[in-house]
Amino acid sequence: MELRRRLSPKAGRPMPLAKSPAASLVQASDALPLPIRHTNKLFSALFMLSLYYLMSQWREKIRTSTPLHLLTISEISAIVGLVASLIYLISFFGIAYVQSFISSADEDEDLLLSSPPASGPPSAPCHLLCSDKQPIPAIALSSDDEEIVSAVVSGKIPSYSLETSLGDCRRAAGIRREALRRITGREMIGLQLDGFDYDSILGQCCEMPVGYVQVPVGVAGPLMLDEKKYFVPMATTEGCLVASTNRGCKAILESGGAVSTILKDGMTRAPVVRFATAKRAAELKFFLEDPQNFEMLQIVFNRSSRFARLQSIQCSLGGKNLYARFCCSTGDAMGMNMVSKGVQNVLDYLQNDFPDMDVISISGNFCSDKKPAAINWIEGRGKSVVCEAIIKGETVKKVLKTTVSTMVELNTLKNLVGSAMAGALGGFNAHASNIVTAIYIATGQDPAQNVESSHCITMMEAVNDNKDLHISVTMPSIEVGTIGGGTQLASQSACLDLLGVRGASMDSPGANARILATIVAGAVLAGELSLMSALAAGQLVKSHMKYNRSSKDVSIAQC
């Protein structure tokens, strides 16, 4: 489902409080594509310019004895502009009449206009008054805000409607937080409220905010990857993680750097549809997998976006239920919404030839999103990346404090055999999810997609007459984007800028997201290298104690 940004006060929405019902909270002018003050200026200017141009042309035709009914294209355009602007300006005076109908349809928001009895601040909830503790004193509020808090506490105003009704996202968060404090009796001391741009998350990142959580961001690097150096931002509260990854980056840098390869790039969405019989479901399966039909399905799918390009359709039958896994490229966006729109276009198109098709859900878990699934491990989802490096034997001894043969043996017994003994699904690694999640939070990705994005198999072997260590990580489903979602927030955008991949690539759509995926894989490579060497050298507990407990000076800790 697409979420649309609600209009803020900057969009010219007057939001009076505690006024008469005539001062409605939801304006009919909200339906205009531009803020009403800008729209009024636009149409007024269009009316005056069109009228002036037509009058001057009329005068010129009279002077040259040119028939008035012979019109040029510019004159026709001016007439159209004049008529359109005139219709708008006349209709504008009827907005108040239309508004009366809209206002009556939204009873919840109209509650903001009703002024509760001015009998002082509302009393604390009963469970607070009846307890041994004294009620927590109310935060100083204006009279208007006090009335709104009281209405939220009593349930007269739904908390989720505050941003839309007030037109001030920071004010809405403060009122919601105070109402929550009075309802629960919890102060929430330490949860920051000020210092955040709440307008930036409205309609796309978080609903009903009451503050924001601070997560420290560390930097590991430089990571030498594909002949470029990157300083990798990692948001985490786990001690030793950034330091350990940093040590892996150092080992890679001293050995000449790592190399990455994008194997596949395609986001997936798999709807589930149902028929009356399994035979009929099979007919749709054959239709979707017929190469002669794919070109038309591509055209229908690709209409959803300038960047969405259908790559393949993989079908699986479960009785009379059909699961169709659509895979498409999505440019620099992570692409979940993009592929969903394309799939919906195809389903609407198929309804013509298969009217008996019952669409159960746009997602049937054959995608598979935010869940461990073999299909993502085998087929891939998002960006499939392999990253490798040859670590010199001297670096293994000097930086990693172990030997090549010890690393190879440990990787076999731990990451391969040990994971197989546990029945792991895509978990043939030491701690890939640690690095993936830290980078995801720092760069505004969806942290829940850490589940499939952390699918990784770490391989190690001795090379160059057993003197050096070859290490690789293969990650089939890294799901990242550099536009959309949380990437547009100020802090996350700064982290993307640090990596040089902020926003969409102008030269090659999708290039920034692919580079980010390779950076994730490269950082995982560094993290695997460092943790495995710490385990091989018996340093894990010692390093964690130094970073987490024993010393405030992390510069003296050796991971």
Query: So which residues are the catalytic ones?
Result: 238, 370, 446, 544
The answer to whether residues 243 and 273 touch, using CB atoms and an 8 Å cutoff, is no
SS3 483: strand
SS3 484: coil
> Could you give phi then psi for residue 472, rounded to 5 degrees?
-145, 150
SS3 459: strand
Residues in a beta bridge with 334: none
The answer to whether residues 246 and 220 touch, using CB atoms and an 8 Å cutoff, is yes
Residue type, 309: R
Rounded CA separation 54/79 (Å): 8
Residues in a beta bridge with 387: 260, 473
Identify how many contiguous H helices and E strands the chain contains and give both numbers.
21, 11
Residue type, 458: T
Count of other CB atoms within 10 angstroms of residue 40: 17
C-alpha dist (Å) from residue 194 to 7, 171, 207: 21, 10, 17
C-alpha dist (Å) from residue 323 to 313, 316, 364: 10, 5, 7
Q: Which of 449, 454, 452 is nearest to 434 (CA)?
A: 454
Could you identify the residue written with the tokens 């010692």?
542
Q: Which of 324, 319, 318 is nearest to 286 (CA)?
A: 324
The answer to whether residues 263 and 384 touch, using CB atoms and an 8 Å cutoff, is yes
Structure tokens at 334: 């992570």
> Could you give phi then psi for residue 310, rounded to 5 degrees?
-65, 130
Q: Which of 521, 435, 526, 446 is nearest to 480 (CA)?
A: 446
Q: Which of 93, 27, 79 is nearest to 50 (CA)?
A: 79
Torsion of CA 9, 12, 18, 21, to 10 degrees: -140
The total number of residues shown for the chain amounts to 559
Rounded CA separation 71/54 (Å): 10
* Enclosing H/E stretch for 463: strand 456-463
The answer to whether residues 234 and 217 touch, using CB atoms and an 8 Å cutoff, is yes
The answer to whether residues 137 and 178 touch, using CB atoms and an 8 Å cutoff, is no
SS3 228: strand
The answer to whether residues 343 and 326 touch, using CB atoms and an 8 Å cutoff, is yes
Structure tokens at 148: 């709104």
Rounded CA separation 514/525 (Å): 17
